[in-house]
Amino acid sequence: MKALTAALATALTLAGCATTTSPTGRTQYVGAVSQAQLNQMGEQAFAETKSKMRASPDARQQAYVRCLVTDIVRELPGDWQRLNWESIVFVDDNPNAFALPGGKVGVHTGILNVAKTQDQLAAVIAHEIGHVYANHHDERITRQMGAQGALGVAGALLGSRYGEGAQQSTNQLGGAALQATFLLPGTRMQETEADVVGQELMAKAGFDPRAAVGLWQNMIAASGGNRPPQWLSTHPNPENRISELQARATSLVPTFDQARAAGRRPNCG
């Protein structure tokens, strides 16, 4: 991990930045690392996560999530489909999920208690895959490089998956949690964009885009009026978000209907 972090710091020092267009048409500044490096970092982060968390022994849960990921990935462009996609359900009561460059998807068992239907869980997974497809991890690294230089980015890579305090501690300690860059919450702009991309992906795959509304209502209820779960922590205002999801779902119903008419009728569980 130390060698990989050192290599990343060198790459960041030498790399130039470029602009690209996100799936929603937004201009992005990316290119701090190559796509191959980004995929390698995602794979390394996932490997570390697997070493620290216990995979669910429930084969049905694993098959359920794998089915959802497969159906959603099928709606991505060909080069994205060809990634080595892998999904694992981890035993963790925190209602969370994530997707990493290189095609890695993690789902906590806690989210299975909140996403009551396959369409609701598809909303979660499609949102997370939307982050990967929209190059949000590359964008975050590039932004960090511009703000802090290579050393600052290397420090950001050594944060924790769970909150600013833990991130600061591992920054100070120079720890080895490379997955931090990938699992720390994104900006609200990125979260909104992942909503847009994810809701469209799920509709194209034959999942009802209206289920995203119920999912977020469940997430709010699960917080019990206390501090929202981590998955909600940097997202837009929940009430505004539900309104946006509802409006977008209405516009995506024809896409959903076309997918169903074309035979895309997911039956994951």
Options 75, 128, 139, 200, the catalytic residue: 128
93: number of Cβ within 10 Å: 10
The H or E element that residue 46 is part of is: helix 35-52
What does the alpha-carbon distance between residue 101 and residue 182 come to, in Å, rounded to a whole number? 8
Radius of gyration of the CA atoms of the chain, in A: 18
230: β partners: none
Q: Would you state the structure tokens that stand for residue 186, as one six-digit string?
A: 């994104």
Return d(Cα 209, Cα 204) in angstroms, integer.
9
Q: CB within 8 A of 243, min separation 6: which ones?
A: none
Q: Is 128 a catalytic residue?
A: yes
User: Which residues participate in catalysis according to the annotation?
Assistant: 128
